[in-house]
Chain A
Amino acid sequence: MTALSVLDRKLARDLARLWAQVLAIALVMACGVMTIVIAVGAYRSLDETRAAFYERYRFASVFSGLTRAPLHLREDLAAIPGVSGVDLRIVKAALLDLPGMAEPATGIAISIPDRGEPAVNRLYLRSGRLPEADRTGEVAVTEPFAKAHRMTPGSTFSAILNGRKRLLTVTGIVLSPEYIYAIGPGDMVPDQRRFGVFYMPRTTLAGIYDMNGAFNDLVARTQRGADLNVVSDRIDAILKPYGGTGTHDREDQISHAFLDNELMQLRAMAVVIPPIFLFVSAFLVNMILTRLIALEREQVGLMKAIGYSSLDVAWHYAKLTLLIAIIGIIIGSLAGNWLGRGMTRLYATFFSFPFLIFRQSLDLYVIAAGVSAAAALAGAGRAIWSVVRLPPAVAMRPPAPTQYRSLFAGSAGLATVFSQLTIMALRHLIRWPVRMLMTTLGTSMAVALLVTALFSFDSIDFMIDTVFFRTERQDATISFGLERSPRALQAVAAMPGVIRAEGFRAAPVVLRKGHRERRLAIQGVMPSPDLARVLDEDLLPVEPPATGLMVSERVARLLHLSIGDRVEIELLEKGHRIVEAPVTSIVQSYVGLAVYMRLDALDRLVGDGPRLSGVRVSIDRAKLDDLYAAVKETPAVASIALQGVSRGRFRETIGENITIMTTVYTLLAVIITFGVVYNSARIQLSERARELASLRVMGFTRGEVSSVLLIELGVIVLLAQPLGWALGYGFSWAVVRGFESDLFRIPLVVERATFAISSLVVLAVAVVSALIVRRRIDRLDLVRVLKTRE
Chain B
Amino acid sequence: MASPRPQIDRPIFSARGLTKVYRTGEVEVYALRGVDLDLAEGEIAVLLGPSGSGKSTLLNIMGGLDTPSSGTMHFRDEELTRFSERQLTAYRRDHVGFIFQFYNLIPSLTAWENVALVTEISAHPMKPEEALEMVGLKDRIHHFPAQLSGGEQQRVAIARAIAKRPEVMLCDEPTGALDSKTGILVLEALSRINEELNTTMAIITHNAGIQQIAHRVFSFRDGRIAEATVNETRAKPSTVTW
A residues whose Cβ falls under 8 Å from a Cβ of B = 400-404, 406, 409-410, 415, 419-421, 423-424, 427-428, 431, 690-691, 693-702, 704, 782-783, 786-790
Is there an interface contact between B142 and A700, defined as CB atoms closer than 8 Å? Answer: no
Query: Which residues of chain A have C-beta atoms less than 8 A from B90's C-beta?
Result: 699
Q: A529 CA to B103 CA in the complex, in Å?
A: 84
A419 to B110, CA, bound (A): 13
Question: Is B109's CB under 8 angstroms from A424's CB?
Answer: yes
Q: Known contacts A691-B107, A699-B93; is A406 also within 8 Å of B144 by CB?
A: yes
Counting from the closest, the 6 A-B pairs by CB-CB distance are A699-B93, A401-B146, A699-B92, A427-B108, A420-B117, A694-B104
Q: Flag if B108 contacts A701 (CB, 8 Å).
A: no
Q: Would you give the shortest CB distance from B109 to chain A, in whole angstroms?
A: 6
Per-position 1/0 for B67-99, Cβ under 8 A of A: 000000000000000000010011111101010
| B219 part of interface (Cβ distance < 8 Å) | no
If A406-B110, A415-B116, A783-B66 touch, whether A700 touches B121 (CB-CB below 8 Å) is: yes
CB distance from A611 to the nearest CB of B (A): 82
User: Which B46-73 residues have a C-beta within 8 angstroms of A?
Assistant: 56, 60, 63, 65-66
CB distance from B214 to the nearest CB of A (A): 23
Report whether A698 and B117 are in contact in the complex, using a CB–CB cutoff of 8 Å.
yes
Residue in B102, B108, B114, B144 with the greatest tally of chain A CB atoms within 10 Å: B108
Is the beta-carbon distance between A782 and B109 smaller than 8 angstroms? Answer: no
- Cβ A402 vs Cβ B107 within 8 A: yes
* A410 pairs with B110, CB closer than 8 A: yes
**Chain B residue nearest in CB terms to A778:** B85
A698 adjacent to B144 (CB under 8 Å)? no
Q: Do the beta carbons of B146 and A699 come within 8 Å of each other?
A: no
Among A403, A691, A699, A783, the residue within 8 A (CB) of B96 is: A699
B residues with CB within 8 A of A: 56, 60, 63, 65-66, 86, 89-94, 96, 98, 100-102, 104-110, 112-114, 116-118, 120-121, 141-142, 144-146, 160
Q: Is the CB of B120 within 8 A of A419?
A: yes
Tell me the complex Cα distance, A403–B109, Å: 11
Using Cβ atoms and an 8 Å threshold, which residues of chain B touch A427? 108-109
Complex Cα–Cα for A84 and B113 (A): 87
Contact (Cβ within 8 A) B60 A783: yes
27 residue pairs A–B, Cβ–Cβ below 8 Å: A401-B145, A402-B146, A404-B108, A406-B144, A409-B110, A409-B113, A409-B144, A410-B110, A410-B112, A410-B141, A420-B114, A420-B116, A423-B108, A424-B106, A431-B108, A694-B104, A694-B106, A696-B89, A697-B65, A697-B92, A697-B104, A698-B93, A698-B160, A699-B90, A699-B94, A787-B100, A790-B102
In the complex, the answer to whether A698 meets B92 with C-beta atoms within 8 Å is yes
Residues in A neighbouring B66, C-beta threshold 8 A: 783
Partner among A419, A690, A697, A704 whose Cβ is within 8 Å of the Cβ of B98: A697
By beta carbon, the residue of chain B nearest A411 is B142
In the bound assembly, the distance between CA atoms of A552 and B100 in angstroms comes to: 77
With a 10 A CB-CB cut-off, give which of A404, A420, A421, A782 has the most chain B CB atoms.
Answer: A420
- Count of A-B residue pairs with CB < 8 Å: 97
- Chain B residue at smallest Cβ distance from A428: B108
User: Assuming A403-B146, A409-B142, A789-B102, is B118 touching A698 (CB within 8 A)?
Assistant: yes
- A790 nearest CB across to chain B (Å): 7
Check A404–B107 contact: CB distance below 8 A. Answer: yes
| Nearest-Cβ distance from residue B172 to partner chain A, whole angstroms | 8
> In the complex, how many angstroms separate the beta carbon of B138 from the nearest chain A beta carbon?
14
Residues of chain A lying within 8 A (CB to CB) of residue B106: 420, 424, 691, 694-695
- Find out whether the CB atom of A420 lies under 8 angstroms from the CB atom of B109: yes
Q: How far is A691 from B92 in the complex, measured between Cα atoms in Å?
A: 16
Given contacts A401-B146, A403-B146, contact A699 B107 (CB under 8 A): no
**Chain B residues whose C-beta falls within 8 Å of the C-beta of A694 in the assembled complex:** 104-106
Extra contacts besides A401-B107, A697-B63 (4): CB < 8 Å: A404-B108, A699-B90, A786-B104, A790-B102
List the A side residues contacting B60 at CB < 8 Å: 783
> Of B63, B109, B112, which is in contact with the most chain A CB atoms at under 10 Å from its CB?
B109
> Which residues from A are CB-within-8-Å of B108?
402, 404, 423-424, 427-428, 431, 691
A275 to B216, CA, bound (A): 69
- For the complex formed, measure the closest distance between the CB of B92 and the CB atoms of chain A, giving whole angstroms: 4
Report the separation of the CA atoms of residues A386 and B65 in the bound assembly, to the nearest whole angstrom: 38
With a CB–CB cut-off of 8 A, which chain A residues contact B105? 694
The answer for the CA separation of A694 and B105 in the assembled complex, in Å, is 8
CB <8 Å contact, A403 and B144:
yes
Could you tell me the distance between the alpha carbons of A409 and B112 in the complex, rounded to whole angstroms? 9
Pick the residue among B102, B113, B144 that contacts A420 (CB under 8 A): B113
| Chain A residues in 8 Å Cβ range of B142 | 406, 409-410
User: By the criterion CB–CB under 8 Å, are A783 and B86 in contact?
Assistant: no
What residue in chain A is nearest B102 (Cβ atoms)?
A789
A residues near B114, Cβ cutoff 8 Å = 420
Complex contacts, B160 vs chain A, CB 8 Å: 698
Is the pair B146, A786 in contact by a Cβ cutoff of 8 Å? no
> Once bound together, how far apart are the Cα atoms of A423 and B120, in whole Å?
13
Q: Which residues of A contact B109 (CB under 8 A)?
A: 420, 423-424, 427
Candidates A424, A702, A783; contact of B65 at CB < 8 Å: A783
**Interchain CB contact under 8 A, B144 and A701:** no
In the bound complex, CA of A409 to CA of B100 (Å):
25
Distance, CA A428 to CA B109, complexed state (A): 10
Supposing A406-B142, A699-B92, A699-B93 touch, asked if A786 and B100 sit within 8 A by C-beta, the answer is: yes
Please determine whether A423 and B107 come into contact, CB atoms closer than 8 angstroms: no
Q: Find the residue from A428, A696, A697 having the highest chain B CB count within 10 A.
A: A697
| Cα(A415)–Cα(B98), bound, Å | 24
**Bound Cα distance from A699 to B87, whole angstroms:** 10
The complex places the Cα of A415 from the Cα of B127 at a distance, in Å, of: 13
Residue in chain A with minimal CB distance to B142: A410
CA distance A415 to B114 in the complex (A): 12
A404–B102 contact, CB under 8 A? no
Beta-carbon nearest neighbor of B114 in chain A: A420
Provide the bound-state CA to CA distance between A700 and B94, in Å. Answer: 10
Q: How far is the CB of A706 from chain B (nearest CB, A)?
A: 13
Interchain nearest-CB distance for A569 vs B (Å): 73
Query: With a CB–CB cut-off of 8 A, which chain B residues contact A701?
Result: 86, 89
Most chain A Cβ neighbours within 10 Å, of B63, B66, B92, B101: B92
Residues from chain A with a CB closer than 8 A to the CB of B93 are 698-700
Q: How far is the CB of B231 from chain A (nearest CB, A)?
A: 28
Closest to B57 in A: A783
| Distance between Cα atoms of A704 and B110 in the complex (Å) | 20
A420-B107 CB under 8 A given contacts A404-B146, A783-B60: no
Distance in angstroms between the alpha carbons of A5 and B43 in the assembled complex: 57
Q: Tell me which residues across on chain B come within 8 A of A421, comparing CB atoms.
A: 117
CB distance from B134 to the nearest CB of A (A): 18
Taking a contact as CB atoms under 8 Å apart, the answer to whether A423 and B113 are in contact is: yes
Check if A420 sits within 8 Å of B120, measured CB to CB: yes
User: Taking the nearest CB of chain B, how far is it from the CB of A720, in angstroms?
Assistant: 22
> What is the CB-to-nearest-CB distance from A398 to chain B, in angstroms, rounded to a whole number?
11
Q: Which residues on the A side are within 8 Å of B94 (C-beta)?
A: 699
Which A residues lie within 8 Å of B121 (CB)?
Answer: 699-700, 704
Q: Bound state CA distance, A406 and B109, in angstroms? A: 9
Rounded to whole angstroms, the CA-CA distance of A406 and B113 in the bound complex is 11
A431 nearest in chain B by CB position: B108
The docked-state distance in angstroms from the alpha carbon of A783 to that of B100 is 11
- Closest Cβ neighbor of B96 among chain A residues: A699
Distance A623 CA – B121 CA, assembled complex (angstroms): 79
Q: What are the residues of chain B within 8 A of A786 when measuring CB–CB?
A: 100, 102, 104
CA distance A281 to B92 in the complex (A): 42
Task: Give Cα A424 to B102, complex, Å.
Answer: 19
Question: A708: shortest Cβ distance to chain B, in Å?
Answer: 9
Q: Using CB atoms, name the residue of chain B closest to A693.
A: B104
Task: Provide the residues of chain A in CB contact with B116, threshold 8 Å.
Answer: 415, 420
Q: Which A residues lie within 8 Å of B117 (CB)?
A: 420-421, 695, 698
Q: In the complex, A788 Cα to B173 Cα: how many Å?
A: 13
User: Complex: how many Å from CA A202 to CA B90?
Assistant: 96
Inter-chain CA distance A694–B60, complex, in Å, is 13
State A790–B56 Cα separation when bound (angstroms): 19
Chain B minimum-CB-distance residue to A697: B98
**Which residues of A are found within 8 Å of B96, using beta-carbon distances?**
699
